[in-house]
Structure 1
Amino acid sequence: MNIKVKYMLWLREKIGLEQEEFKLDRETSLEDLVRIIILKHREAEKYLSNIFSDDNPFIILVNGIPRKKNYILKDNDLVTILPPVSGG
C-alpha cells in the first residue's frame, strides 16, 4: 500500500520535506502512520507526539477530508498534516 504524506507550513521546514511516500505492508491507521513518521523524523517528535490530543490544533486530512486517529488508510491515500498557524 502506498501512502503519500504532505507536510504544510512550518512543519515542512522542521521535517525538511514537502512530501514523501510510505510503502506499508499491513493495515495502518492514521495514528500508526504518525508513529512511523516520528520514528523516521525524530526532529519532529515534539510536534507530532501529541497530535491526536484534544488540545492539539493540528489538522490531519486524508484526501481533503478531516479524519480521526483510528481512520484506516487505503492505497494511494494522500495525508496532509496542517500545523497551527501563528502570527496575526
Structure 2
Amino acid sequence: MVKIKLMGLMAHLAKARELEVKLDGPKTVDELLREVIPRYDELHDKIILVNGVSAKGNYVLKDDDEVKVMPVLSGG
C-alpha cells in the first residue's frame, strides 16, 4: 500500500487530499499519479517527495512508501 498526499491543484484535480493505493506490481511515481490525477501529464511544475526526500517521476515505488505531490509556487 502506498500513501499519497496531494496539495493545491493536484488535490483539486484528484478530488482528494490523501489516497491509499495498493500496488499490483512495480510502478513508478509518474505511473501511479497518472492513475489518480486527471491531466497529470499537463502539470509540468511539481515537487515530488517520497518518504520525505525529493524524488523524480521515474522513482520505482514499493509498499509502505509515502508520496507527497505539490505544485511549484512562484511569486514576486
Q: TM-score, normalised by structure 2?
A: 0.81
Q: Which residue of 2 aligns with 1:79?
A: 67
1:3 and 2:2 aligned? yes
Superposition RMSD on alpha carbons, in Å?
1.8
Q: Which residue of 2 aligns with 1:58?
A: 46
SS in 1 for 2:68: strand
Q: Bigger radius of gyration, 1 or 2?
A: 1
Unaligned runs of 5+ in 2: none
Separation of aligned partners in 2, 1:78 and 1:87: 28
Unaligned runs of 5+ in 1: 39-43
Question: Runs in 1 of length 4+ with deviation above 4 angstroms?
Answer: none
SS in 2 for 1:49: helix
How many residue pairs get aligned? The number is: 76
